[in-house]
Chain A
Amino acid sequence: MKVLAAMSGGVDSAVAAARAVDAGWDVTGVHLALSPEPATLRHGSRGCCSREDAGDARRAADVLDIPFYVWDLAERFRADVVEDFVSEYASGRTPNPCLRCNEKIKFSAVLDRALALGFDAVVTGHHARLVDGRLMRSVDPAKDQSYVLAVLAPQQLARAVFPLGDSTKAQVRGEAARRGLSVATKPDSHDICFIADGDTRGFLERRLGGSAGPIVDSATGAVVGSHAGSFGFTIGQRRGLNLDRPAPGGEPRYVLSIQPAANTVVVGPGELLDVDEVAGTRAVWTGGEPARSQLDCLVQMRAHGAVTPASVQVTGRDVVARLHGSQRGIAPGQALVMYDGDTVLGSATITAAGRAA
C-alpha cells in the first residue's frame, strides 16, 4: 500500500508515519503549509504551521528515511477554514476550525490530491480508531479526537489510516523517544493554529472591526454593560464580560445568546443555559445512513465535552436530539456528535438549543 503521511511537525504524526513504515507500506511524508506567512519562531506551544514545524517534520521524515515534501495549502486553508471561522463568529455562532480543517483540507483537498497522485490512503496522527471502517474513540480518553473527525463521510474514512488509536499519548511519546525522533518531548499543540498569539477576540476584532453595542440582562432587558463587538463571545461564557451592574441577587451571569443583527449580547443566570433539546443540520453519518429515523445514542456537543444519553430524531440532513437530562452552554456552530458507546455514528452542526416545551 502506498500512503501519504500528513506530518505536522508534532510527535503524534511522526509516530503515526513511523508505524506506517513499520507496517511495510510505501510511505511519503507531507507537511501542509497552511499559514500564508510561515512564522519563523514558535510562540509557546501554539500554532501548527510555522517554519520550525516544517523543519521538525522534515527531520522526522529523515529519521524514518521516507521522502518528504511541503504542500502549500495556505490559500485553500484561508478560504475554507479561516474565512468560515470568521463568518461563523460574525453570525453569532462558535465554530470549531479543527473540525472544518479535517473536513475540507486534510480529508478533502489533501486526500483528493493524494488519491489522484496514486496514493491509496492518507495517514494522520489523530487519536482515534478505525475498526472495520467504523470511527471509534481513542483508548486515551484525554486525547481522543473522534469528535473532530466525526464530520467525515464513509468514503473519506475508507481512505484514512489512524495508527495511534490504540495508544495513549504517553505511549506515543515513549515510542517517539525510543525511535530517536527529536519531537518526542515537543509540547502538544492546542488552541487555534492560525491565531498564533492565542488572542481569538483580538483576531476577530482585526478581521471584523469592533462595533460597540450593549450587553443586556435577559430578565429585565436593562443594559448592564457594553462590548466592543458581539463576535468573540461564546454561549455560556462568564469571564471577561465587564458588567457595570451586578445581578440583584449577586448571582453570576453568563452569555445566553448573541444577536449579531442587533449587535447585542444577552446575559442571565446560569440555569437559563440548561438545555435539553438540541437541533442540528448538515448531518454526516460516518458509518453510513442510520437504518431508523429515531436513534437512542450518546451525544457530545463540544470537543472534550460531557457525553449525554439522548434520543435523536433524524429528518433528512436535520437532527433533533432530546437529551436525557440537561446540558449547560451548548453553542450553535459546534458539532453534535453521536456515539454508540465508543463508536461514532455521525455528526451535525448545532443550529439551536433550548428547553423542550
Chain B
Amino acid sequence: MPYLDHAATTPVLPEAVAAVTAALGEFGNASALHGSGRLSRRRIEESREQLAEVLGARPSEVIFTAGGTESDNLAVKGIYWARRDEDPRRRRVIASAVEHHAVMDAVEWLAAHEGAQVTWLPVDGTGRVDPAALRAELAADPEAVALVSVMWANNEVGTVQPVAELAAIAHEFGAPIHTDAVQAVGALPVDFAASGADALSLTGHKLGGMYGSGALLLRREQACVPLLHGGGQERDVRSGTLDVPGAVGLATATALAVGRRDELSARMRRLRDDLVDGIRARVPEVLVNGHPTDRLPGIAHLSFPGCEGDSLLMLLDARGVECSTGSACSAGVARPSHVLLAMGAGAERARGSLRFSLGHTSTADDVAAVLDAIEPVVDRARRAGITSAAS
C-alpha cells in the first residue's frame, strides 16, 4: 500500500516495538520506593538521558508528556501564565500565522479567556517568518511580551523557520521563545541548546515511536505553570504516573531517527524530488508550495488548479495511494488551510492542494504508484470541478 502520509503518522520502528514490548513486561510505579519502582525509575531516567543526549538538551530539561498537543499547550499556556504572574504587563503572545492548531488554538484560548493580546507574525509566499518582523513587534513594547512561539518546520508545506535567529532576537528583548519541532526532529538537525529556544515540543509517533508519548524540552530556568496538577512527577510542571513504555519507546525511536537522519533525509529528499519532478512532467500546471530549499526533506505540498483536494484524495485512496489534503476539522471536513492562506494563496489554490509526505518506510515504488495514478486522477478531479463554491 503506497503510504505517503508520514507527516500525519509514521510506522513504529521495529526496534521501538521491541523496546516498548520489553518495558510492558516489566512493571512498577516509577515514583515508588521499592525495587520494582526503582527499575521503572531507572528506565525513565535512561530514556530521559538518551533523549537529552540526541537532542542537545540536559536530562533535567526533558519533560515527558502525552504528545505534541500536550507539549504545545503546556509551553504556550504554562509560560504565558508564569510570565504574566511575574509581571502583569506581560500579556502579548507573538506567534507565526502558520502554527499547528495545537499552538494556534492554545493561543486563541489565552486571548479569549486569559486576556492575552495576540500578534500573528505574517509569513512570505514560501511560508517563512521574517525575523525583522519579529524584531519590530518585540521592539514596539518589549515589556508587554509574555511569549514568542514559532514552529521549527511547518507540518503542511514543510517550510523551515530560522529558529535560532528568531530565538536570538527574542532574547535580545528578554522574551522566551517556544518552538513546535514535532515535524523537525528526525528530519532536520535539532539541537535544543544550540537553537536558543526556551521550550521545544516533540512527539513520538511522527518519528517511529508510539502515539501518546511526547516531550517538552524546557530550559531549567524557564518558569512554566502546569496544566496538570497532581503528584508533580515531572519537575512539578507535569503530573501523572510516568509512562515507562511510552518514555522508552520515545527515546528509542528518537535516538534511531536522529542517528539515521543524514541517510534517511537524503533518501527522502531524493524520492520527494523524483515525486515532484514526475508529477510536474505529467501535470505541468501543478504548483509546488513551501520554501524551494529550506523545506522538510519528505514533504511535497502541491496545488492542482481547478481540482478539489478532497476529490484528488478520494480518487487516489481508491487506487490505494494514501496522502492528505493537509488540514481537516474534526468532523472530517476539508477546510482551506490557514497555512496556505497565510502564504497568500487564494482559497481555491488552498482547497486544491495535496500533501504527500515520505518517511522511513518510503520506497521508489511508492513514488511510482503516485506517478501512475496522478494523471487520470487529476483529469477526473478537474472534471468534477470545485463543488464547494456556490454556483
Q: Is B334 an interface residue (CB 8 A)?
A: yes
Tell me whether A33 is interfacial, beta carbon within 8 Å: yes
Given A28-B314, A113-B311, A116-B383, also A51-B330 (CB < 8 A): yes
Task: Give Cα distance in the complex from A232 to B103, angstroms.
Answer: 44
Closest to B389 in A: A75
- Contact at A33–B390, with CB atoms within 8 Å? no
> Closest CB-CB distance, A60 to chain B, in whole Å?
14
On whether A69 and B314 interact (CB within 8 A), knowing A75-B388, A78-B390, the answer reads yes
Bound: A70/B331 CA distance, A: 8
Could you tell me the distance between the alpha carbons of A139 and B371 in the complex, rounded to whole angstroms? 50
Is A71 a contact of B387 with CB atoms below 8 Å? Answer: yes
Interface of chain A, helix or strand or loop or mixed? helix
- CB of A113 within 8 A of CB of B387, answer yes
Partner of B333, one of A70, A78, A112: A70
Let me know if B380 is at the binding interface, CB within 8 A: yes
In the complex the two chains form, is B387's CB within 8 Å of A67's CB?
no
Q: A28-B314, A113-B311, A117-B381 are in contact. Are A73 and B331 (CB under 8 A)?
A: no
Q: How far does the Cβ of B335 sit from chain A's closest Cβ, in whole Å?
A: 7
Tell me, yes or no, whether B132 is within 8 Å of chain A by CB: no
Closest beta carbon of chain B to A272's beta carbon, Å? 41
| B380 close to A117 (CB less than 8 A) | yes
| B318 interface residue (CB < 8 Å to A) | yes
Contact A117 B332 (CB under 8 A): no
Asked if A72 is an interface residue, CB under 8 A from chain B, the answer is: yes
A118 CB contacts on chain B under 8 angstroms: 315, 380
Instruction: Establish whether residues A67 and B388, one from each chain, have CB atoms under 8 Å apart when the complex forms.
Output: no
Binary interface profile of B, 371-391, with partner A (CB < 8 Å = 1, else 0)? 000000000110111011111
A75 (CB) vs chain B CBs: closest residue: B390
Q: Give CA–CA (A75, B386) in the complex, Å.
A: 11
Q: Mark A76-95, 1 if CB is under 8 A from B, else 0.
A: 10111000000000000000
A-B interface contact total, Cβ < 8 Å: 72
Q: Which residue of A lies closest to B382 (CB)?
A: A116
Residues of chain A lying within 8 A (CB to CB) of residue B333: 33, 38, 54, 70, 72, 74
CB <8 Å contact, B332 and A109: no
Given contacts A70-B332, A71-B310, A116-B380, contact A79 B391 (CB under 8 A): yes
In angstroms, Cα B388 to Cα A113, docked, is 10
Output the least CB separation between A28 and chain B (Å).
7
Instruction: Answer whether residue A106 sits at the interface, using C-beta atoms and an 8 A cutoff.
Output: no
Asked if B388 and A69 sit within 8 Å, CB to CB, the answer is: no
| B-chain residues with CB within 8 Å of residue A116 when the two chains form the complex | 380, 383-385
Is A58 interfacial (CB-CB < 8 Å)? yes
CA distance A113 to B381 in the complex (A): 9
Contact (Cβ within 8 A) A117 B314: yes
Determine if B331 and A117 form an interchain contact, defined as CB atoms under 8 angstroms apart: no
In the assembled complex, how far is the CB of residue A246 from the closest CB belonging to chain B, in whole angstroms?
48
- Residue total for B at the interface (Cβ-Cβ under 8 A): 24
B124 to chain A, nearest CB (A): 29
Alpha-carbon distance A71/B384, docked complex (angstroms): 13
**Residues of B close to A67: CB separation below 8 A:** 314, 317-318
Q: In the complex the two chains form, is A33's CB within 8 Å of B318's CB?
A: no
**Is A31 an interface residue, CB under 8 A from the partner?**
yes
- Which chain A residue shows the least CB distance to B383? A116
Q: Select one of B334, B384, B387 contacting A76, CB under 8 A.
A: B387
> How far does the alpha carbon of A76 sit from the alpha carbon of B389 in the complex, in Å?
6
The CA-CA distance from A72 to B310 in the complex, in Å, is 9
Most buried by B among A28, A58, A67, A113: A113
With CB as the reference atom, state the residue of chain A lying closest to B328: A70
Q: Tell me the A18-77 residues at the B interface (CB within 8 Å).
A: 28, 31, 33, 38, 51, 54-55, 58, 67, 69-76
Chain B residue nearest in CB terms to A53: B331
CA distance A54 to B388 in the complex (A): 17
Once bound together, how far apart are the Cα atoms of A72 and B334, in whole Å? Answer: 7
Q: Note all chain B residues with C-beta closer than 8 A to A113.
A: 311, 384-385, 387
| Most chain A beta-carbon neighbours within 10 Å: one of B333, B381, B385 | B333
- A–B Cβ pairs within 8 angstroms, 27 of them: A33-B331, A38-B329, A38-B331, A38-B333, A51-B330, A55-B331, A67-B317, A69-B313, A69-B314, A70-B331, A70-B333, A72-B333, A72-B335, A73-B388, A75-B388, A76-B390, A76-B391, A80-B391, A109-B391, A112-B387, A113-B384, A113-B385, A113-B387, A116-B383, A116-B384, A117-B315, A117-B384
Question: What 20 additional pairs, Cβ within 8 angstroms, besides A69-B310, A72-B333, A73-B388?
Answer: A28-B318, A38-B331, A51-B330, A51-B331, A54-B331, A55-B331, A67-B318, A70-B333, A70-B334, A71-B310, A74-B333, A75-B390, A76-B387, A76-B388, A112-B384, A116-B385, A117-B311, A117-B314, A117-B381, A118-B380
**Pairs A-B, 7 closest by C-beta atoms:** A116-B384, A79-B390, A70-B332, A116-B383, A51-B331, A33-B333, A72-B333
